[in-house]
Each structure stands twice: as structure tokens, then as C-alpha cells.
Amino acid sequence: MIKIGFHTDAFNSSYWNFEQCLQWAQKNDVHYIECGATDGVSWLHGLGYQPHIALWEDPLALRAKMDRYGVQFSQVDAAFPLSLPEGASLGLTYVLNTIRWAKLVGCDHIDTTDDRFAPPGMTDEQALEMMKRTYAQILPVAERYEMIIDIEPHGYYTTKPEFMERMLAFVDSPYLRMNFDTGNTFIAGQDPVVFLQRFKHKVSHVHIKDVSDSLAAAARGELTGIAVSQCAIGDGVNVDNIKKCFDILVALKYDGVVSLECEGQGGPMIEKSLAFVRGLVDDANRRMAA
């Protein structure tokens, strides 16, 4: 069945900490959470103003705390752009460290992606070959830890279907999958429905984002991704695509999480989004059970 989660990016602008996000999840009957990983020390995180986790935190202690709130991770976001030259060093280490931490906290999905721009001084073939070598080092570790490595359409390569197809074939492994994103594919100028249909059998995690009319008019085809919806999900120009994507998930009998990526405004906007998506999920689950 389809389950609902949310990305703690929703509360970046509110400067919430991770436990406040757990409290919001418990209050709103949401049982799956997704957040970014910080591999090191951040002053914002240390002061309690960042809704993400740091890899120096004790994952077993955090897992026990999350159990008390009735919340578990759907995915940990380790999306340092692997197409950057630093992706082969910093990005690789970051993903590997996150895999080990995620295993202990009880999470089995890691999100990865590329940069918005093609790396300077490299051809597309050179960049793809560099990323292939990086994923070839990640996947043996992921297999040992039984950790699904998702590639999210968010950048120059991943939002282009012909490149995404090659990336998903970098390593022949059931642990290399896709985190589909309704908003990133749309803002990049793709048709989210066609994109999902092409890669539906690779999808293991889904981000639900809408796009405001003003942002679509100003930036569609210019951006490759957006952090969160700046309008409530259901109020934007991507809503019909989102509904059609749910039809595909139903036909696929998708068994996983759809994660809201929406500006929270301290609660009201993401709560409006949650009500809309909950209606789609309830309908989808009814249809799959019929």
C-alpha cells in the first residue's frame, strides 16, 4: 500500500529542529519522515535550528526516540551532487558514511542526485563515466547493508530521460533505484507522467511537489529542480500531473512512501498539502485493494 511521509525541508524556513518535526508528524498522524544528513558539525544544527540529522548523532538513540513518536525514516537524503568533480571524493565518502548510519537507525533508502549544471571542463560522456565509477563503488556497500540507493531527478543529467536511463544501468543491481519527483521533472520541462511511466519499474520512493503558476511561468525549462513546493500541493499547475502519476502508482501496485516536499509555513501550508495528498493516497489504496 501507499504510505505518506514528508521531508523536513518543509521546516527549514521555520528553523525547527528534528524533534519538532517528529512532534508535527505525531500530531498529524504521519509515520514516515525524510531528512538530510550532515556529515560533520553545523552551527545551525548544533543550536537546534535545523530540521535534519548529523552523522555524529547516535543512530540507535535516535531510533528509540523516533519509536516513541511512532515515526520511522522512509529515506535519508545524501544528495551531494555526484556530477561535480568533488562527487568522486567528498560525495562518495558522504554517501558511504550515510549508508552505515542509516542501517543503524533503521532506514533502508538513501537519496542521491547530480548538480543543476553540467560540470565545467567535462563532456557529458566524461561526467557520466565519473558518476558510473562513483556508483560502482557505492553499490557493493549498499548491497552488503541492504540499502537501496535512489537516484532523484534533480539536476542536469537526471532530469533528462536519456541520461537517467543510462545512470540507472550504471550497476546491475536491484539496489539501484529511482526516487521519482513530480515537481523537479515538471520544472525541468519534462512531462512528469511520461517520465514516471518510462521508469515506473525502477521507482522505490516518490516526492510529491506541486508548482505555482508564477514559478512555472518564470522558470519552467530553466531550472532542473526545486527544494519544495512554494504553494500548497493541489493548488498549483502540476496538480493534474500528480493525479495521473497516482494512477500509474495504482496500476503498478506501488508499495512504498510518497513524501511531501512542501513549504510548511510552520505548519499551515504543509497541513493543507497533507489533506490533499491523503485524499489521493486513500483513493489509490482503495483502488489497489479492489
- pLDDT tens digit string along 108-137? 999 999 999 999 999 999 999 999 999 999
Neighbours of 77 (CB within 10 A): 24
pTM: 0.97
Q: Where along the chain do its domains lie?
A: 2-289
- What is the reported pLDDT for 260? 98
- What is the reported pLDDT for 31? 98
Mean pLDDT across the chain, nearest whole number? 98
Write out pLDDT tens, residues 77-119: 999 999 999 999 999 999 999 999 999 999 999 999 999 999 9
Task: Give 124's contacts (C-beta < 8 A, 6+ positions apart).
Answer: 118, 157, 163
May I ask the CATH class of domain 2-289?
alpha beta
First to last CA, the chain: 12
Across 197-209, average pLDDT: 98
- What is the reported pLDDT for 208? 98
- What is the reported pLDDT for 255? 98
Q: Rg of the Cα trace of the chain? A: 18
Q: Per residue, what are the HEC states of the chain? A: CEEEEEEHHHHCCCCCCHHHHHHHHHHCCCCEEEEEEECCCCHHHHCCCCCCEECCCCHHHHHHHHHHHCCEEEEEEEEEECCCHHHHCHHHHHHHHHHHHHHHHCCCEEEEECCCCCCCCCCHHHHHHHHHHHHHHHHHHHHHCCCEEEECCCCCCCCCHHHHHHHCCCCCCCCEEEEEEHHHHHHCCCCHHHHHHHHHHHEEEEEECCCCHHHHHHHCCCCCCCCCECCCCCCCCCHHHHHHHHHHHHHHCCCEEEEECECCCCCHHHHHHHHHHHHHHHHHHHHHHC
